[in-house]
Amino acid sequence: AQSVAQPEDQVNVAEGNPLTVKCTYSVSGNPYLFWYVQYPNRGLQFLLKYITGDNLVKGSYGFEAEFNKSQTSFHLKKPSALVSDSALYFCAVRDREGYSTLTFGKGTMLLVSP
């Protein structure tokens, strides 16, 4: 079975400060990892993914995520937060081996204050 944990329901950060949204995962084999963002009353939008190779993945809107196999983590980061980054963020995982669909975490609300 595969699962994702997002330990924080909400993250608060001031505009201009760095932000981190945490994600840990569990799969039986090796993972494909994804981050999605959801703005109010909208569907989810793909931000970035880790497939293989460099552990630091760069995505849309200046976001990046670091894959850490030993800690089974895939934290989302941005060096300087914007008020417009305020949204609900979802981490998702899929096992590389065999056939499986994407499993989402429960989501973390990011609030960036001016």
Q: How far apart are CA 74 and CA 92, in angstroms?
A: 10
Contact positions with other proteins (CB under 8 A) in 37-96: 41-46, 49, 51-52, 90, 94, 96
Name the 3-class secondary structure at 5.
strand
Minimum CB distance to other proteins smaller for 15 or for 109:
109
Q: Which of 36, 63, 67, 89 binds other proteins (CB under 8 A)?
A: 36
Which of the stretches 20-28, 30-38, 60-68, 75-83 binds other proteins when contact is defined by CB under 8 A?
Answer: 30-38
Q: Which of 5, 67, 75, 77 is nearest to 31 (CA)?
A: 67
The CB-of-80 to other proteins minimum distance in angstroms stands at: 26
Contact call for residues 38 and 44 (beta carbons, < 8 A): yes
36: part of which helix (H) or strand (E)? strand 31-38
Q: In the set 79, 102, 111, 113, which binds other proteins (CB under 8 A)?
A: 102
